[in-house]
Amino acid sequence: MTAMRERVQICECFARDGLQHEPIALSPADKIALIDAFTRAGFPRIEATSYSHPKHVPAFADASEVLAGIHRGEGVYYKATCPNLRAVERALRDADAGFGANELSLLVSATESHTERNLMTNRAEQWRRVGEMAAIAAGRFRLIGVISMTFGCPFEGAVDAGVVIDDVKRFAALGVTHVALGDTNGHATPSAVRALFRRIEAEVPEVTSIAHFHDSRGAALANCLAALEAGCRFFDSAFGGVGGHPSRISYGDGFTGNAATEDLVHLLECEGFATGLDLDRVMAASRLCEEKLGRELESRVARAGFGLLDARNLQDA
């Protein structure tokens, strides 16, 4: 008998956070094929698309078509990003039509400068919008709060952890029980991650924290491990480490991608946690991501394989 391993959840973000950084858009058919591959691999949460305005983020003009075309897995959450009230209204129309997302991201930033560049407003106004969005979406979707620039901002420098804690509390007051802490430009360090996640657990225990780290400075996996040590069990990542800011909006130099899913799965499984994923299908999805983008991506495990995990019985007793 194998001892029961503690479960962690990974949200696969390739189809949204990953593709928004690409200079060319994939076809709806390609996106559907990718999301279906992620479903077959066993991801319990998949960031499928964005309801951002097509003028600002044209890569997701096909959001409704993609959501209508995917083959849904039982119990899987398919997330769509909603930056404003109009986006939530689109999500509601698609839900009424029978093919919408069942999870929505509501976006804020920890700094004024990034809010202005990314959301084209100020923090006070964005929080007013988020209140409206949460009100009309309540009961129809699982809502995920997203706080960008949690650990530092390229425009304003260090971010006060107290501001982040207050933002988490504001989401909780709106009934949003899952909040992703976004290290948007890769400023986080393991010590800062452990401190913040432990503080949220102590001060806002009703909220489930989600670790969302970018690998701009090579620390994404170390930061994921630090979040794990602090009690976090929900993680965001993208196959091949792709992603970053929308291709038409620049707020960071160098590599901007997410923690690579293949590498994160390997880390979590090696640490004794159960991801619930089929490793063979994870690798098949990894290869499909590279095929659709036409290049070798940044994952180390995509090159080396899962190693000892391939021969290990990962089934829980």
Give the span between the Cα atoms of 276 and 68, in whole angstroms.
26
Measured in whole angstroms, the distance separating CA 207 from the mean position of its chain's CA atoms is 17
Write the CATH number for 194: 3.20.20.70
Question: Are the CB atoms for 256 and 245 separated by under 8 Å?
Answer: yes
Number of domains in the chain: 1
Give the span between the Cα atoms of 189 and 309, in whole angstroms.
28
Give the span between the Cα atoms of 238 and 298, in whole angstroms.
10
Q: pLDDT per position in the chain (317 positions), as tens?
A: 456 899 999 999 999 999 998 888 899 999 999 999 999 999 999 999 999 998 888 999 999 999 999 999 999 999 999 999 999 999 999 999 999 999 999 999 999 999 998 899 999 999 999 999 999 998 999 999 999 999 999 999 999 999 999 999 999 999 999 999 999 999 999 999 999 999 999 999 999 999 999 999 999 999 999 999 999 999 999 999 999 766 555 555 666 799 999 999 999 999 999 999 999 999 999 999 999 999 999 999 999 999 888 655 554 43
Q: Give the bridge partners for 79, in sequence order.
A: 47, 103
CB atoms near residue 132 (< 10 Å): 12
Range of the domain at 135: 9-311
Does 317 fall in a domain?
A: no
Give the span between the Cα atoms of 235 and 193, in whole angstroms.
13
pTM over 0.85: yes
Does 316 fall in a domain?
A: no
Does 205 fall in a domain?
A: yes
Quote the tokens at residue 21. 């950084």
